[in-house]
A and B are shown apart, each in its own frame.
Chain A
Amino acid sequence: MKLRTPIVALSLMALAGAAQAADPNLARNLAATCANCHGTNGNALKGAGLDSLSGMEKGKILQKIADYKSGDKPASIMHQISKGYTDAQMDMIAGYFAAQK
C-alpha cells in the first residue's frame, strides 16, 4: 500500500528531469504542510469545517486544486495557497493523501 507514493514521486522527478536527487519522502513532507488545517495525513477532525483529504481519490483532489487555482471554485483561502505549489508538487501531495486511510 505504501509503495505507491515513492513511485509517484520518483516518476514525476524523472519526467521533470530534476538534476538533484529527490528526497524519497518529498511527497510526505509536502503533504504535511497541509496537515495544520486538513489533519495529520489528511485526517481532518469531523465537524471542524475543513476537508478531510485522507483516502480521497487523487483525481478529485487535483481537480479541486485546479478549480481553486483557476478561480472556477470560489474559496476563502485555497485560491491563494494553492498558487504556492507547483503542479508537480500538487500531484505528489494528492497522490500521498489518496494513499492514506
Chain B
Amino acid sequence: MMLMKRRDFLKVGAAAGAMSALYGCAGGGKASGHVVVVGGGYGGATVAKYLRMWSEGSVQVTLIERNPTFISCPISNLVIAGTKNMEDITVSYDGLKTKWGVRVIQDDVVAVDAAKKSISLKAGGAMSYDRLVLSPGIDFMFDQIPGLNNAAAQNQVLHAWKAGSQTVALRKQLEAMKDGGTFAISIPKAPYRCPPGPYERACLVADYFKKAKPKSKVVILDANEDVMSKKGLFMKAWADLYKGTLEYRNNSEVKDVDVATNTAILEFDKFKADVLNVIPPHRAGAIATQSGIKLINNRWVDVNWLSMESTSTPGIHVLGDAIFPAPTMPKSGHMANQHGKLAAAAILNMLSGQEPSPDPLVMNTCYSFVDAKNAVHVASVHTYDVATKTMQPVKGAGGVSAARNEIEGKVAMGWAKNIWADMLT
C-alpha cells in the first residue's frame, strides 16, 4: 500500500504502515515529495508531524533544528519565577523521529537557493526540497540597542525571550539579587513575540519577590502607549496583588543600555536596575530575512494566507512569529501550531496537484499566569477574508477571562501538555 516515490533515505516503512492503519484514507490524489522544515518550534514541529500523519507517510519530511530538544517559551516564565524547572518545559524530538518518521537533523540552515530548491547546512552539504517550510521564529535587532550589540553584554543583560540557557540564567540573576533590589523588564514596540508574556513575567517575578524578597520591586518599561494584551486583567492583578511592588511605565522605550551600571537608557530618562531584562525589538529569524523572500517593514515575511507561502517566492512557506501578522493575530506558540496545520493541508494539496483549501480557519488560545496558581486567557478565531486577502477575526467570537482564577491555572498546564503532544508525540 505504501508507495515510496523518493529515494528511500528514511527508515519510515514500519512507522508509515502503522500510521496508515491508524489514520486510514486521506481522500484526493496521493501527495508525494520531500518537504524540508527549518526550525522545530511550535510551527515547524507541527507542520512536520501533520505532513507525515495526513499523507500517511507518503511525503518525506526532514526537520532541521539547531537545538537538541524542544524547549517551550510558554510556561518558561514559571521557570524564571522558580515554580517550574527546565525539565518541565523540555520535550524530546524522539516522537517525531520514531512515531512519525520525520528525519530530524540537528544543524543550522545557512542559505536557501529558491531557484534550485535547495538549502545549505552549516555542517556542510546541501539538501534539495520540493517544498520548503521556514519556521525560524525571531531574531533580535541588537543594533537598535547599541550597548547590547556584543556577546558579553548579551550575557549580562538578558532577554530570556527564547527559552533555553537564558531562562536559566535569568532565574539565577533573580536568585542572586539582594532583597530590596529592583527587577526591570523592558518591552519593545508591537508587534513582538507573545504580547502578554512580559506582563506575565512581571507578575510572576513580583509574586516570587513577595514570598522570598519582600522589599524588592518590579518595574515594567513598556515602549508601547498602553498594556498590549489582557489589560484589565493585568492591571487588576497589579492593583490587587502587587501594589507597592510592581510599577508600570508606558511610553518608556529602551534606546540603549549602559551595561557597566545595568542602566536602561530611555529617550529622556535612565533607569538603573539590579536585574535588567531587556527584550530588544525583533524581526523574522535570520534564515527568513536573508533568503531574499519579500518582507514587510524589512522585518516580517509577507505570506499568502491560503497556503502560508511567501508572496514573492513559490515553494517557500513561512510560519509563526516570523510572518507579518494578520489583523489582531498574535505572535504566539498556539498560533504557530495553527499556521503549521494550515500549511500542512495546503502543501499536501499542492503536492497532489490541487489548490489549497479556499476557506482556512485558525484560532488562538493564550493563558497567562498572574501568580503561581491563577491564570487568565485571551482567545480568538480568524477566518480567511477574500476581500482583504488576509485572515480577519470572527466578530463576536473570542474574548478574555472574566477574572483571574485557579481553574485556568490548571487548564494552562493541560493546554501546554496537550499542545506539546500535538506537535511532538
- Check B358–A23 contact: CB distance below 8 A: yes
Query: Which residue from B53, B359, B380, B411 sits with its C-beta under 8 Å from A49?
Result: B411
B384-408 CB mask vs A (1 if < 8 Å, else 0) is 0000000000101111010001011
- Check A84–B28 contact: CB distance below 8 A: no
User: When chains A and B are docked, how far (Å) is the Cα of A41 from the Cα of B54?
Assistant: 11
User: When chains A and B are docked, how far (Å) is the Cα of A98 from the Cα of B285?
Assistant: 40
Closest to A23 in B: B357
User: When chains A and B are docked, how far (Å) is the Cα of A1 from the Cα of B24?
Assistant: 8
Would you give the shortest CB distance from B414 to chain A, in whole angstroms? 4
Which A21-48 residues have a C-beta within 8 angstroms of B? 23-26, 28-30, 32-33, 35-41, 44-45, 48
Check if B193 is an interface residue, CB within 8 A of chain A.
no
- Check A25–B394 contact: CB distance below 8 A: no
User: When chains A and B are docked, how far (Å) is the Cα of A15 from the Cα of B419?
Assistant: 34
Check if A81 is an interface residue, CB within 8 A of chain B.
yes
- Check B380–A84 contact: CB distance below 8 A: yes
User: When chains A and B are docked, how far (Å) is the Cα of A50 from the Cα of B397?
Assistant: 20
Query: What's the tally of chain A residues with a CB closer than 8 Å to chain B?
Result: 35
A62-93 CB mask vs B (1 if < 8 Å, else 0) is 00000000000000110011111100010000
Check if B410 is an interface residue, CB within 8 A of chain A.
yes
User: When chains A and B are docked, how far (Å) is the Cα of A38 from the Cα of B380?
Assistant: 16
User: When chains A and B are docked, how far (Å) is the Cα of A45 from the Cα of B29?
Assistant: 32
Check if B219 is an interface residue, CB within 8 A of chain A.
no
- Check A44–B381 contact: CB distance below 8 A: no
Query: Which residue from A41, A45, A89 sits with its C-beta under 8 Å from B361?
Result: A89
Check if B377 is an interface residue, CB within 8 A of chain A.
yes
Would you give the shortest CB distance from A3 to chain B, in whole angstroms? 8
- Check A25–B345 contact: CB distance below 8 A: yes
Check if B310 is an interface residue, CB within 8 A of chain A.
no
B42-56 CB mask vs A (1 if < 8 Å, else 0) is 000000011001100
Which B173-198 residues have a C-beta within 8 angstroms of A? none
User: When chains A and B are docked, how far (Å) is the Cα of A41 from the Cα of B26?
Assistant: 13
B398: chain A residues at CB < 8 Å are 80-81, 83-84
- Check B405–A76 contact: CB distance below 8 A: yes
A41: chain B residues at CB < 8 Å are 23
User: When chains A and B are docked, how far (Å) is the Cα of A24 from the Cα of B24?
Assistant: 14
- Check B381–A23 contact: CB distance below 8 A: no
Binds A, one of B207-215, B234-242, B334-342: B334-342
- Check A84–B363 contact: CB distance below 8 A: yes
- Check A50–B415 contact: CB distance below 8 A: yes
Known: A80-B379, A84-B363. A37 touches B26 (CB 8 A): no
Closest to B362 in A: A33
Would you give the shortest CB distance from B417 to chain A, in whole angstroms? 5
Known: A25-B26, A80-B398, A84-B394. A35 touches B422 (CB 8 A): yes
- Check A25–B422 contact: CB distance below 8 A: no
Check if B25 is an interface residue, CB within 8 A of chain A.
yes
Closest to A40 in B: B422
Check if A11 is an interface residue, CB within 8 A of chain B.
no
Check if B125 is an interface residue, CB within 8 A of chain A.
no
Closest to B333 in A: A36
Closest to A32 in B: B341
User: When chains A and B are docked, how far (Å) is the Cα of A11 from the Cα of B248?
Assistant: 55
- Check A33–B422 contact: CB distance below 8 A: no
- Check B397–A33 contact: CB distance below 8 A: no
Closest to A79 in B: B399
User: When chains A and B are docked, how far (Å) is the Cα of A83 from the Cα of B379?
Assistant: 11
3 interchain residue pairs of minimum CB distance:
A84-B381, A84-B397, A48-B414
- Chain A residues engaging chain B, CB cutoff 8 angstroms: 1-3, 6, 20, 23-26, 28-30, 32-33, 35-41, 44-45, 48-50, 76-77, 80-85, 89
- List 18 A–B pairs whose Cβ atoms lie within 8 Å, in order of A's numbering: A25-B28, A28-B345, A35-B422, A36-B415, A36-B419, A45-B414, A45-B418, A45-B421, A48-B413, A48-B417, A48-B418, A49-B410, A50-B411, A76-B408, A77-B377, A82-B397, A83-B398, A85-B381
**What 5 additional pairs, Cβ within 8 angstroms, besides A29-B341, A49-B411?**
A1-B24, A30-B361, A32-B341, A36-B334, A76-B407
